[in-house]
Chain A
Amino acid sequence: MSLIDLANPTRFLALSARVLPWLAAATVILLTIGLYQSASAPDDYQQGATVKIMFIHVPNAWLSMFVWGVMSLASLGTLVWRHPLADVAAKAAAPIGASFTFLALLTGSLWGRPMWGTYWEWDARLTSVLILFLMYLGLMALWRAVEDPSRAARAAAVLTLVGALNLPIIKFSVDWWNTLHQPASVMRMGGSTLDKAFLVPLLVMAVAFTLLFVTLHLAAMRNEILRRRVRSLQMMQASQKAA
Protein backbone atom coordinates (compact mmCIF):
# COMPACT_ATOMS: atom_id res chain seq x y z
CA MET A 1 0.00 0.00 0.00
CA SER A 2 1.72 3.12 -1.16
CA LEU A 3 0.83 6.68 -0.31
CA ILE A 4 -0.26 7.25 -3.91
CA ASP A 5 -2.89 4.54 -3.56
CA LEU A 6 -4.22 6.11 -0.42
CA ALA A 7 -4.31 9.48 -2.10
CA ASN A 8 -6.83 8.37 -4.69
CA PRO A 9 -10.30 9.22 -3.34
CA THR A 10 -11.88 6.02 -4.67
CA ARG A 11 -9.12 3.95 -3.10
CA PHE A 12 -9.54 5.93 0.07
CA LEU A 13 -13.25 5.15 0.16
CA ALA A 14 -12.58 1.46 -0.30
CA LEU A 15 -9.85 1.29 2.29
CA SER A 16 -11.67 3.38 4.87
CA ALA A 17 -14.77 1.23 4.49
CA ARG A 18 -12.67 -1.77 5.50
CA VAL A 19 -10.93 -0.02 8.39
CA LEU A 20 -13.92 1.82 9.90
CA PRO A 21 -15.65 -1.12 11.66
CA TRP A 22 -12.41 -2.14 13.39
CA LEU A 23 -11.73 1.42 14.45
CA ALA A 24 -15.25 1.80 15.80
CA ALA A 25 -14.98 -1.47 17.71
CA ALA A 26 -11.62 -0.48 19.21
CA THR A 27 -13.08 2.89 20.23
CA VAL A 28 -16.04 1.28 21.97
CA ILE A 29 -13.84 -1.20 23.84
CA LEU A 30 -11.34 1.40 24.99
CA LEU A 31 -14.10 3.83 25.97
CA THR A 32 -15.79 1.14 28.04
CA ILE A 33 -12.54 0.30 29.82
CA GLY A 34 -11.77 3.96 30.33
CA LEU A 35 -15.22 4.72 31.72
CA TYR A 36 -15.05 1.75 34.06
CA GLN A 37 -11.64 2.76 35.30
CA SER A 38 -12.63 6.37 35.82
CA ALA A 39 -15.72 5.26 37.71
CA SER A 40 -13.63 3.13 40.03
CA ALA A 41 -10.90 5.73 40.47
CA PRO A 42 -10.62 7.02 44.06
CA ASP A 43 -11.64 10.53 45.09
CA ASP A 44 -8.98 13.18 45.24
CA TYR A 45 -8.17 14.29 48.77
CA GLN A 46 -8.61 17.93 47.76
CA GLN A 47 -11.18 17.91 44.98
CA GLY A 48 -13.27 14.96 46.09
CA ALA A 49 -15.33 13.25 43.42
CA THR A 50 -15.17 16.24 41.08
CA VAL A 51 -11.85 14.91 39.92
CA LYS A 52 -13.89 12.52 37.78
CA ILE A 53 -14.70 15.43 35.48
CA MET A 54 -11.02 15.52 34.67
CA PHE A 55 -11.29 12.18 32.88
CA ILE A 56 -13.37 13.72 30.14
CA HIS A 57 -12.15 17.28 30.41
CA VAL A 58 -8.49 16.56 29.79
CA PRO A 59 -8.99 14.24 26.77
CA ASN A 60 -11.25 16.83 25.17
CA ALA A 61 -8.80 19.62 25.87
CA TRP A 62 -6.02 17.48 24.40
CA LEU A 63 -8.13 16.76 21.31
CA SER A 64 -9.00 20.42 20.85
CA MET A 65 -5.31 21.04 20.17
CA PHE A 66 -4.61 17.72 18.47
CA VAL A 67 -7.36 18.30 15.90
CA TRP A 68 -5.95 21.70 15.05
CA GLY A 69 -2.62 19.96 14.55
CA VAL A 70 -4.25 17.45 12.19
CA MET A 71 -5.88 20.30 10.29
CA SER A 72 -2.55 22.12 10.06
CA LEU A 73 -0.91 19.06 8.54
CA ALA A 74 -3.79 18.72 6.11
CA SER A 75 -3.48 22.41 5.27
CA LEU A 76 0.18 21.90 4.44
CA GLY A 77 -1.00 19.12 2.14
CA THR A 78 -3.43 21.53 0.52
CA LEU A 79 -0.94 24.35 0.02
CA VAL A 80 2.24 22.41 -0.76
CA TRP A 81 1.02 19.30 -2.58
CA ARG A 82 -2.34 20.70 -3.66
CA HIS A 83 -3.93 17.43 -2.80
CA PRO A 84 -7.74 17.27 -2.83
CA LEU A 85 -7.83 14.64 -0.09
CA ALA A 86 -6.02 17.09 2.18
CA ASP A 87 -8.83 19.63 1.64
CA VAL A 88 -11.32 16.95 2.56
CA ALA A 89 -9.39 16.01 5.70
CA ALA A 90 -9.15 19.63 6.83
CA LYS A 91 -12.80 20.36 6.20
CA ALA A 92 -14.09 17.19 7.88
CA ALA A 93 -12.00 17.78 10.99
CA ALA A 94 -13.25 21.29 11.77
CA PRO A 95 -16.76 20.52 13.12
CA ILE A 96 -15.45 17.56 15.13
CA GLY A 97 -12.65 19.64 16.60
CA ALA A 98 -15.10 22.40 17.44
CA SER A 99 -17.34 19.88 19.24
CA PHE A 100 -14.47 18.56 21.34
CA THR A 101 -13.36 22.09 22.14
CA PHE A 102 -16.90 22.93 23.18
CA LEU A 103 -16.90 19.89 25.48
CA ALA A 104 -13.55 20.92 26.94
CA LEU A 105 -14.99 24.36 27.71
CA LEU A 106 -18.22 23.01 29.13
CA THR A 107 -16.62 20.39 31.36
CA GLY A 108 -13.97 22.91 32.36
CA SER A 109 -16.58 25.34 33.54
CA LEU A 110 -18.54 22.56 35.29
CA TRP A 111 -15.33 21.54 37.00
CA GLY A 112 -14.53 25.13 37.87
CA ARG A 113 -17.86 25.85 39.49
CA PRO A 114 -17.23 23.69 42.62
CA MET A 115 -13.59 24.81 42.74
CA TRP A 116 -13.87 28.54 42.13
CA GLY A 117 -17.53 29.09 42.95
CA THR A 118 -18.24 30.43 39.48
CA TYR A 119 -18.90 28.80 36.14
CA TRP A 120 -16.56 30.99 34.27
CA GLU A 121 -13.26 32.41 35.36
CA TRP A 122 -11.05 34.33 32.93
CA ASP A 123 -8.40 31.81 33.77
CA ALA A 124 -5.56 31.61 31.28
CA ARG A 125 -6.18 28.06 30.17
CA LEU A 126 -9.96 28.31 29.88
CA THR A 127 -9.58 31.57 28.03
CA SER A 128 -7.07 30.11 25.58
CA VAL A 129 -9.45 27.25 24.85
CA LEU A 130 -12.27 29.75 24.36
CA ILE A 131 -10.18 31.59 21.77
CA LEU A 132 -9.40 28.27 20.11
CA PHE A 133 -13.14 27.56 20.00
CA LEU A 134 -13.78 30.91 18.34
CA MET A 135 -11.10 30.13 15.77
CA TYR A 136 -12.77 26.78 15.02
CA LEU A 137 -16.10 28.53 14.53
CA GLY A 138 -14.48 31.12 12.29
CA LEU A 139 -12.92 28.38 10.21
CA MET A 140 -16.28 26.63 9.86
CA ALA A 141 -17.88 29.92 8.87
CA LEU A 142 -15.19 30.32 6.22
CA TRP A 143 -15.92 26.86 4.81
CA ARG A 144 -19.60 27.71 4.71
CA ALA A 145 -19.15 31.14 3.19
CA VAL A 146 -17.46 30.02 -0.02
CA GLU A 147 -19.49 27.95 -2.43
CA ASP A 148 -16.59 26.39 -4.38
CA PRO A 149 -14.83 23.90 -2.07
CA SER A 150 -11.42 24.05 -3.72
CA ARG A 151 -11.32 27.83 -3.43
CA ALA A 152 -12.50 27.66 0.18
CA ALA A 153 -9.81 25.06 0.87
CA ARG A 154 -7.02 27.50 0.00
CA ALA A 155 -8.33 30.22 2.26
CA ALA A 156 -9.07 27.79 5.08
CA ALA A 157 -5.60 26.26 4.81
CA VAL A 158 -3.92 29.65 5.12
CA LEU A 159 -6.12 30.54 8.09
CA THR A 160 -5.44 27.18 9.78
CA LEU A 161 -1.68 27.54 9.45
CA VAL A 162 -1.69 31.14 10.61
CA GLY A 163 -3.82 29.98 13.53
CA ALA A 164 -1.35 27.21 14.34
CA LEU A 165 1.52 29.71 14.37
CA ASN A 166 -0.55 32.14 16.38
CA LEU A 167 -1.76 29.71 19.02
CA PRO A 168 1.46 29.73 21.10
CA ILE A 169 1.56 33.51 20.89
CA ILE A 170 -2.05 33.73 22.01
CA LYS A 171 -1.40 31.25 24.79
CA PHE A 172 1.64 33.23 25.94
CA SER A 173 -0.24 36.54 25.83
CA VAL A 174 -3.17 35.14 27.75
CA ASP A 175 -0.84 33.65 30.34
CA TRP A 176 0.83 36.98 30.73
CA TRP A 177 -2.53 38.77 30.81
CA ASN A 178 -3.77 36.57 33.56
CA THR A 179 -1.28 35.05 35.92
CA LEU A 180 -4.02 33.77 38.18
CA HIS A 181 -4.12 30.17 37.02
CA GLN A 182 -3.40 26.72 38.28
CA PRO A 183 0.00 25.28 37.39
CA ALA A 184 -0.10 22.73 34.60
CA SER A 185 -0.09 19.29 36.14
CA VAL A 186 0.24 16.50 33.59
CA MET A 187 3.08 17.79 31.47
CA ARG A 188 5.06 19.46 34.21
CA MET A 189 8.83 19.26 33.96
CA GLY A 190 10.35 16.38 35.92
CA GLY A 191 7.51 13.93 35.66
CA SER A 192 3.84 13.94 36.38
CA THR A 193 2.47 15.05 39.70
CA LEU A 194 -0.69 13.02 39.16
CA ASP A 195 -1.16 9.88 41.17
CA LYS A 196 -1.07 6.64 39.19
CA ALA A 197 -4.65 5.92 40.22
CA PHE A 198 -5.70 8.96 38.16
CA LEU A 199 -3.06 8.80 35.47
CA VAL A 200 -3.98 5.36 34.10
CA PRO A 201 -7.69 6.02 33.53
CA LEU A 202 -6.81 9.45 32.19
CA LEU A 203 -4.44 8.02 29.61
CA VAL A 204 -6.93 5.30 28.63
CA MET A 205 -9.63 7.91 28.18
CA ALA A 206 -7.29 10.13 26.18
CA VAL A 207 -6.45 7.28 23.83
CA ALA A 208 -10.11 6.29 23.60
CA PHE A 209 -11.18 9.83 22.69
CA THR A 210 -8.37 10.10 20.16
CA LEU A 211 -9.59 6.88 18.56
CA LEU A 212 -13.11 8.29 18.62
CA PHE A 213 -11.84 11.32 16.75
CA VAL A 214 -10.03 9.20 14.18
CA THR A 215 -13.16 7.13 13.59
CA LEU A 216 -15.43 10.15 13.26
CA HIS A 217 -12.90 11.96 11.11
CA LEU A 218 -12.59 9.06 8.71
CA ALA A 219 -16.37 8.76 8.42
CA ALA A 220 -16.76 12.51 7.93
CA MET A 221 -14.05 12.47 5.25
CA ARG A 222 -15.95 9.74 3.42
CA ASN A 223 -19.08 11.88 3.56
CA GLU A 224 -17.18 14.87 2.27
CA ILE A 225 -15.81 12.90 -0.68
CA LEU A 226 -19.32 11.71 -1.49
CA ARG A 227 -20.61 15.29 -1.17
CA ARG A 228 -18.06 16.48 -3.70
CA ARG A 229 -18.96 13.63 -6.01
CA VAL A 230 -22.62 14.69 -5.79
CA ARG A 231 -21.59 18.26 -6.51
CA SER A 232 -19.55 17.43 -9.59
CA LEU A 233 -22.28 15.13 -10.88
CA GLN A 234 -24.84 17.89 -10.39
CA MET A 235 -22.68 20.30 -12.33
CA MET A 236 -22.46 17.74 -15.10
CA GLN A 237 -26.20 17.27 -14.95
CA ALA A 238 -26.70 21.02 -15.33
CA SER A 239 -24.62 21.08 -18.50
CA GLN A 240 -25.74 17.75 -19.93
CA LYS A 241 -28.85 18.79 -21.79
CA ALA A 242 -28.33 21.78 -24.03
CA ALA A 243 -31.76 22.27 -25.56
Chain B
Amino acid sequence: MMSLGPYASFIVTSYAAAAIVVVMLIGWVVIDYRNQTARLRELDRSGVTRRSGRSATDTP
Protein backbone atom coordinates (compact mmCIF):
# COMPACT_ATOMS: atom_id res chain seq x y z
CA MET B 1 0.00 0.00 0.00
CA MET B 2 1.39 3.33 -0.99
CA SER B 3 1.50 6.08 1.56
CA LEU B 4 -0.88 8.93 0.95
CA GLY B 5 0.30 11.20 3.69
CA PRO B 6 -1.83 13.11 6.19
CA TYR B 7 -4.58 13.81 3.66
CA ALA B 8 -5.24 10.21 2.64
CA SER B 9 -8.95 10.52 3.38
CA PHE B 10 -9.34 13.43 0.94
CA ILE B 11 -7.60 11.54 -1.82
CA VAL B 12 -9.58 8.37 -1.23
CA THR B 13 -12.83 10.32 -1.06
CA SER B 14 -12.08 12.02 -4.38
CA TYR B 15 -11.40 8.75 -6.15
CA ALA B 16 -14.37 7.04 -4.50
CA ALA B 17 -16.69 9.90 -5.47
CA ALA B 18 -15.47 9.76 -9.05
CA ALA B 19 -16.03 6.00 -9.09
CA ILE B 20 -19.54 6.36 -7.64
CA VAL B 21 -20.57 9.03 -10.13
CA VAL B 22 -19.20 7.06 -13.07
CA VAL B 23 -20.96 3.90 -11.87
CA MET B 24 -24.18 5.88 -11.51
CA LEU B 25 -23.83 7.19 -15.05
CA ILE B 26 -23.26 3.68 -16.39
CA GLY B 27 -26.22 2.42 -14.36
CA TRP B 28 -28.41 5.20 -15.72
CA VAL B 29 -27.47 4.39 -19.29
CA VAL B 30 -27.99 0.64 -18.85
CA ILE B 31 -31.29 0.89 -16.96
CA ASP B 32 -32.60 3.49 -19.40
CA TYR B 33 -31.72 1.20 -22.30
CA ARG B 34 -33.57 -1.71 -20.69
CA ASN B 35 -36.63 0.44 -20.00
CA GLN B 36 -36.85 1.77 -23.53
CA THR B 37 -36.37 -1.60 -25.21
CA ALA B 38 -38.93 -3.16 -22.86
CA ARG B 39 -41.45 -0.48 -23.75
CA LEU B 40 -40.71 -0.89 -27.43
CA ARG B 41 -41.27 -4.64 -27.18
CA GLU B 42 -44.52 -4.08 -25.33
CA LEU B 43 -45.73 -1.66 -27.99
CA ASP B 44 -44.69 -4.15 -30.63
CA ARG B 45 -46.72 -6.86 -28.95
CA SER B 46 -49.80 -4.67 -28.74
CA GLY B 47 -49.62 -4.41 -32.52
CA VAL B 48 -48.45 -0.84 -32.98
CA THR B 49 -46.10 -0.64 -35.93
CA ARG B 50 -44.16 2.15 -37.49
CA ARG B 51 -45.35 3.68 -40.72
CA SER B 52 -42.73 1.86 -42.73
CA GLY B 53 -44.23 -1.40 -41.54
CA ARG B 54 -41.07 -2.54 -39.85
CA SER B 55 -41.16 -4.02 -36.42
CA ALA B 56 -40.54 -1.46 -33.70
CA THR B 57 -37.79 -3.44 -32.04
CA ASP B 58 -35.69 -4.27 -35.04
CA THR B 59 -32.49 -2.52 -34.17
CA PRO B 60 -29.96 -4.42 -36.23
- Give the interface of A toward B (CB within 8 A): 10, 13-14, 17, 39-40, 43, 48-50, 52-53, 56-57, 60, 95-96, 99, 102-103, 106-107, 110-111, 113-114, 212, 216, 219-220, 222-223, 226-227, 229-230, 232-234, 236-237, 240
Contacts and interface: CB of A to CB of B under 8 A. Distances in A.
Interface residues of B, number: 34
Summarize A's interface: helix, strand, loop or mixed.
helix
A168 B25 CA distance: 28
Contacts of A53: 10-11, 14
B44 to A, nearest CB: 8
Which of A14, A57, A111, A219 has its CB near the most chain B CB atoms (within 10 A)? A219
Given A49-B3, A216-B25, A222-B33, 10 more contacts: A49-B11, A53-B10, A106-B14, A106-B17, A107-B18, A216-B29, A219-B33, A220-B29, A233-B43, A234-B48
B7 A50 contact: yes
A103 B18 contact: yes
Interface string B9-36: 0110111011001101110110011001
Which of B14, B26, B59 has its CB near the most chain A CB atoms (within 10 A)? B14
Given A107-B14, A223-B32, A233-B50, A52 B4 contact: yes
17 contacts: A10-B59, A48-B6, A50-B7, A50-B11, A52-B11, A53-B10, A56-B14, A95-B28, A111-B14, A114-B6, A114-B7, A223-B29, A223-B36, A227-B32, A230-B40, A233-B48, A233-B50
Contacts of A52: 4, 11
A226 B40 contact: yes
B33 A99 contact: no
Nearest to B58: A10
